[in-house]
């Protein structure tokens, strides 16, 4: 934090005028995690609202991923300095200008007020502290909690949701899709679909994954999310946005088995994306407690009919499925079309 103090003036969102450069505070109502634009820059779309009940959508660009606002969920509070206001198709919007800078704060009442920023130097005063507290109080009564953030035990088929989880393993499937094995300490209401990875190399602790097999799910991510998935470190804590569930049925010996598929489709519609959460994040703190208290020994979905004899692994040691049910075998995976 800088040692000097500068008095900044913040403009309420209902007083913005095109062609001006302003400083604003707001509560995040919608956002897209930073993604590569068609050019060389990263882009993030953030819609904010303040006590005036006016919304402002901001299109933010930077050559540096970390220079964009570090937002983890709707309800976070942001401070933007030197935001350019323009009118496009009769809609007021904000865009980055020279010297643009941002701070992000957790929006939860009572949480520590710790600015998130990649900048080593920034100005934060007692007035800023009061501004964050005031927005938190306002948001607690004027904005409903995010209904999209769910645990695995609560998900249903044909649903889009955000998931906080830990990465246990990852593997390349093909150029357009990538496998992530994750868990959040709870069990899905249906057996989780397993990706056949006989010919792939799974990065991760196979014995640990096997130990947690009743609690893990396989997620296939597609297209523009593949390069992000490749860079993830096993063991890291993630938030995956707009994850899609589908119920897959398979018939075998006149029996029908249902399994739940998890897909992160290509594109950025509806805020699709992946973000790594720091261990200091309050949601990660809760996740760790859930993981520590998870029941690793209970059988999952014991009423599922086995399709064949248990087959835990192929000769190359890659884990395929829990012993109580057979994995869905697919020698080639077709990228799911975005919904």
Domains and CATH numbers, the chain: 20-142 (2.40.50.140), 159-283 (2.40.50.140)
Give me the residue label for tokens 């809760």: 286
Interacting residues of 225 by C-beta distance below 8 A, sequence separation 6+: 178, 264, 266, 272, 273, 274
The per-residue pLDDT for range 60-81, each reduced to its tens digit, is 999 999 899 999 999 999 999 9
Question: Which pTM was predicted?
Answer: 0.82
Between CA 60 and CA 281 the distance in angstroms is: 24
Predicted local distance difference test score (pLDDT) of residue 200: 63
Predicted local distance difference test score (pLDDT) of residue 296: 77
Residue 173 has pLDDT above 70, yes or no: yes
The per-residue pLDDT for range 132-144, each reduced to its tens digit, is 999 999 999 998 8
The per-residue pLDDT for range 27-42, each reduced to its tens digit, is 999 999 999 888 889 9
Q: What are the two backbone dihedrals, phi and then psi, of residue 283, each rounded to the nearest 5 degrees?
A: -70, -35
| Token pair for 217 | 């799910």
- Do the beta carbons of residue 157 and residue 186 sit within 8 Å? no
């Amino acid at each position: 934090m800088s040692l000097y103090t500068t008095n900044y003036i913040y403009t309420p969102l209902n007083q913005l005028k095109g062609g001006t450069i302003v400083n604003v505070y707001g509560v995040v109502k919608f956002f897209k995690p930073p993604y590569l634009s068609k050019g060389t820059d990263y882009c993030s779309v953030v819609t904010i609202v303040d006590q005036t009940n006016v919304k402002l959508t901001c299109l933010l660009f930077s050559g540096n991923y970390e220079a964009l606002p570090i937002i983890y969920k709707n309800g976070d509070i942001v401070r933007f300095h030197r935001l350019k206001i323009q009118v496009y198709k009769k809609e007021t919007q904000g865009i980055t200008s020279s010297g643009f800078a941002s701070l992000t704060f957790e929006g939860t009442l009572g949480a520590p007020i710790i600015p998130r920023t990649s900048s080593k130097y920034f100005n934060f005063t007692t007035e800023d502290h009061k501004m964050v507290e005031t927005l938190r109080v306002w948001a607690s009564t004027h904005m409903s909690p995010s209904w999209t953030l769910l645990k695995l035990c609560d998900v249903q088929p044909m649903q889009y949701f955000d998931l906080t989880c830990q990465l246990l393993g990852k593997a390349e499937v093909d150029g357009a899709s990538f496998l992530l094995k994750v868990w959040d300490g709870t069990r899905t209401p249906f057996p989780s679909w397993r990706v056949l990875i006989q010919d792939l190399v799974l990065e991760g602790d196979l014995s640990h994954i096997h130990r947690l097999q009743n609690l893990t799910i396989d997620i296939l991510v597609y297209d523009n999310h593949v390069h992000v998935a490749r860079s993830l470190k096993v063991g890291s804590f993630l938030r995956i946005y707009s994850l899609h569930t589908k119920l897959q049925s398979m018939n075998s010996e006149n029996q029908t088995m249902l399994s739940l598929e998890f897909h992160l489709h290509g594109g950025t519609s509806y805020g699709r994306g992946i973000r790594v959460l720091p261990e200091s994040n309050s949601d990660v703190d809760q996740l760790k407690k859930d993981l520590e208290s998870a029941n690793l020994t209970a059988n999952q979905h014991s009423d599922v009919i086995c399709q064949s004899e248990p087959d835990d692994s192929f000769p190359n040691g890659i884990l395929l499925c829990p012993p109580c049910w057979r994995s869905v075998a697919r020698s080639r995976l077709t990228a799911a079309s975005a919904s």
